[in-house]
Structure 1
Amino acid sequence: MAGLGIAALPDFLTDLPIAEGTLRQVMADYPSPEAGIYVVRPPGGIAPRKVRALIDILIEWFGAR
């Protein structure tokens, strides 16, 4: 946007600006590589409930492989 360069961004951030014409898609013929999401926490012990809840939400949203 505003000529600031090229970025790889998720669809939920780019759909509206592309539709409005304020953002332009480039390199559409080149698919993005798959990326992963990882939860990193200290080893051992049981995760606190807040951490476990976040992990469960991430698994539900993005799926586990």
Structure 2
Amino acid sequence: MSSAQRTHRAGAYAERGARLLNAVRLERLCQQLENSQSGDRLLEALRQDVANEVQVLETQLLTRLNKLKRA
């Protein structure tokens, strides 16, 4: 395996790891949101955190899709 192939493979693993970490964080935030009371003052902050994590994942997935289309 060439150096370029190893670098590409390492980058792919890092990208998958980042997506997995964001997915785990999103799942935890959603669980917190489900467990919150409707009067909980942190509810809006949790909603915003969930929305932000969804945006991060969406951006990563669209970037990956564009890379696949170019390949």
Q: Is TM > 0.5 for Structure 1 vs Structure 2?
A: no
Look at both structures and tell me which one has the larger radius of gyration over its CA atoms.
Answer: 1
- Structure number having the greater helix percentage: 2
TM-score of the two chains, using structure 1 as the length reference: 0.38
Q: More relative contact order in 1 or in 2 (CA 8 Å, sep 6+)?
A: 2
